[in-house]
Chain A
């Protein structure tokens, strides 16, 4: 499913409308973790990350892992410095008021799978 369709289905708020390249990307894989060393080791390239961490290191890791998007759960929002860096790196940021478990569950129901599916 395309990232923009996922965002619409999950009712995600888009934080980086300036990043347009990822909207049509087909998202097949996802990862959920709040420890960045873990994300760095396991997040699937081209996938989406669901996390609570909103600090700058998240963008560094997302960029390094070549993720299409980061979805912040629990309504957590990054500050402007982080958003600006995401734009510069071409990483799309979204936020959901739902908690991580629900966000991941709904992604899975839409066909986005993890590394072991």
Chain B
């Protein structure tokens, strides 16, 4: 999953915009943006693990905001120890050409001590969008972890995994929460890129347009409309 490989795969899959959301870190987003150049819109984000072990997908206006939020999240994490890499792999920070810039020593695979409300607050404070990740999944989804969907938490959207088809009755069941639905691949491997995608009706593939689309503002929207 080097930046050039990600960009290549996304373009091959016909995607117009992707978001890079490493666990609890935004250190690789700018490199993927640089690798993409004008060919592909790349949003800088993170997938943050709350103390309740829920995943929150965070998307930011730019890499700087993502990095600042990432630093705040990172400050709550411990460091890797012996045996960590055998479970979770090496945590590479890569340059745009795919070469290794640094090794991340924070234990990104662990939960932060931040609860759902604190994570959403942190994301919003940095101008980002907070999306309840893969709520159809039992592991790490807010419904599976908390028992009920936290309607007052302030999420900007809910995300469904590739296992729920757009337009299906299963998808419709999640619309009850009153939030826009996005579909994501949650790709951890290159071959998973494109396994799910969201149709965004907007003027151009940018963060600002996506924010309008999720808000259903000024004629922008997500999904079939």
Which chain A residues have a beta carbon within 8 Å of chain B's beta carbons? 35-37, 53-57, 59-60, 63-64, 85
Q: Which of B84, B87, B88, B139 contacts A53 (CB 8 A)?
A: B139
CB <8 Å contact, B88 and A60: yes
Q: Which of B53, B87, B113 contacts A56 (CB 8 A)?
A: B87
Across-interface contacts of A63 in B (CB, < 8 A): 83, 87
Across-interface contacts of B84 in A (CB, < 8 A): 60
Which chain B residues have a beta carbon within 8 Å of chain A's beta carbons? 51-53, 81, 83-84, 87-88, 109-111, 113, 139-140
Q: How far is the CA of A54 from the CA of B84 in the complex (A)?
A: 18
Across-interface contacts of A64 in B (CB, < 8 A): 81, 83
Q: Could you pull out 23 A-B pairs where Cβ atoms are within 8 angstroms?
A: A35-B51, A35-B52, A35-B53, A35-B111, A36-B53, A36-B110, A36-B111, A37-B110, A37-B111, A37-B113, A54-B139, A56-B87, A57-B110, A60-B83, A60-B84, A60-B87, A60-B88, A60-B109, A63-B83, A63-B87, A64-B81, A64-B83, A85-B87
Q: Which residue of B lies closest to A60 (CB)?
A: B87
Besides the known contacts A35-B111, A56-B87, A60-B88, 19 further A-B residue pairs in the complex with CB atoms under 8 A apart = A35-B51, A35-B52, A35-B53, A36-B110, A36-B111, A37-B110, A53-B53, A53-B139, A54-B139, A55-B139, A57-B87, A57-B109, A57-B110, A60-B84, A60-B109, A63-B83, A63-B87, A64-B83, A85-B87
Across-interface contacts of B109 in A (CB, < 8 A): 57, 60
CB <8 Å contact, A59 and B51: no
Q: Which residue of A lies closest to B84 (CB)?
A: A60
Across-interface contacts of B113 in A (CB, < 8 A): 37
Across-interface contacts of B88 in A (CB, < 8 A): 60
Q: Which residue of B lies closest to A57 (CB)?
A: B109
Q: How far is the CA of A37 from the CA of B88 in the complex (A)?
A: 16
Across-interface contacts of A57 in B (CB, < 8 A): 87, 109-110
Across-interface contacts of A85 in B (CB, < 8 A): 87
- How close is B47's CB to chain A, nearest CB, in angstroms? 14
Q: How far is the CA of A64 from the CA of B110 in the complex (A)?
A: 13
Q: How far is the CA of A85 from the CA of B88 in the complex (A)?
A: 11
Across-interface contacts of B87 in A (CB, < 8 A): 56-57, 59-60, 63, 85
Across-interface contacts of A37 in B (CB, < 8 A): 51, 110-111, 113
